[in-house]
Amino acid sequence: MVYKAMMTVDLDKEINKGFAIFPTTRYQGSKRRLLPWFYKIFNEIKFESVLDGFGGSASISYLFKLMSKKIYYNDILRSNYQTGVALIENDSVKLENNDIEFLLGNSDSQFPSFITDTFEGIYYYPEENKWLDMVVFNIRKLSQFYKDDILRKKQALAFHSLFQACLSKRPFNLFHRKNLYLREADVSRTFGNKKTWDIDFPHLFWKFSLEASSKVFSNNQSNKAFCGDLLLLENHDYDLVYLDPPYERPSESHPKDYFSLYHFLEGLVDYDNWSSRIDYSKKHRPLQKESSKFDGLSPLERIDLILEKFNDSIIAISYGDPGKPTVDELKQLLSKYKKNIKVFDTEFSYKLNKRNGSNLREVLIIGS
């Protein structure tokens, strides 16, 4: 179903059906299954423009797009930015069948072999590594047929589809360790994505390309995607700022590091510079950490700076409970800037690994 404009959609009816209306994703921490819950809350708030500061999988931004809001999507990861361009900023460009056929079938040219040479035995089988080298090369070769904004959005859709295919074939959908052996071992599994490992890459890419293109629509707003540190982002006087900051569980010593979990996807986007960014001292070949002038700040200190920066907007903080900092600490911090604070919560667990999500609740703190 392709949504051409919001007036053609009975959004309340579609939302009540569940979360099938939204693009699928294998991204850890995605709020996709909770979007009907978020919709009921946000639908009671008056706002026209919104900044999604930690955009991630773009699920929340996509909900705002369905609600006809003007969206500013931001994420510090270049891979997530591609998804923001493909599904949020993009309102008409799609991957047609001939585009997908070119991306999957153009093997006549001599393409690079960086993934094949560098990641042997780490994440994918040799023939899969070779396929990835070819597809990234072909995504860039789309410049033969398209220019400027159309090219940028075609490539963003292609990268988004490639990312979803890559995640589908990874144990736990992550790149946190060298564990290709898990796909080879004939043992029982306690996590849920084993069935997608054996689906070949071309089939997965076709599936996600068609799905992503089917979710492209215009909500009659000029939506924008950005890639950068939220504290350095220009303030456009957003009506509402939605924050889904990384947090740590009580058993952990640091917040979840999405750069480390998805470094391989970052490399796919920055293919030409990938080799110079890798930390070769580690078996799983992650990217070297990029420094920031905000390094050294605690999660609470960083959130405080963000709240101060956007204190003229309605603030909505999405958070996992239990977490560090605690919900009470976030409420107290938000009370420095907002008089009216409301807290909503619901049960939530991770789909692929129930043990990691047991007794976890999703909390939405709204300050106005």
The pair of three-digit structure tokens given for residue 248, joined into one six-digit string: 């740590």
Question: How much is the pLDDT for 171?
Answer: 87
Residues facing 283 on adjacent strands: none
Question: How much is the pLDDT for 257?
Answer: 87
DSSP conformational letter for 77: S
pLDDT in tens, 153-182: 999 999 999 999 999 999 888 999 998 888
Radius of gyration of the chain measured on its C-alpha atoms = 20
CB environment 155-166: b (16+ within 10 A), e (fewer): bbbbbbbbbbbb
pLDDT in tens, 263-321: 999 999 999 999 999 999 999 999 998 888 888 888 899 999 999 999 999 999 999 88
- Every domain of the chain and the residues it spans: 6-311
Q: Is 98 exposed, middle or buried (0-12, 13-18, 19+ CB in 10 A)?
A: exposed
Q: Which residues have C-beta within 8 Å of that of residue 110, sequence separation ≥ 6?
A: none
d(CA 346, CA 279): 40
Model confidence at 1, pLDDT cuts 50, 70, 90, reads: very low
Q: Is the pLDDT at 3 greater than 60, yes or no? A: no
Model confidence at 208, pLDDT cuts 50, 70, 90, reads: very high
Question: How much is the pLDDT for 36?
Answer: 92
pTM passes above 0.85 = yes
Average confidence score pLDDT of the chain: 90
Pairing between strand 314-321 and 361-367? antiparallel
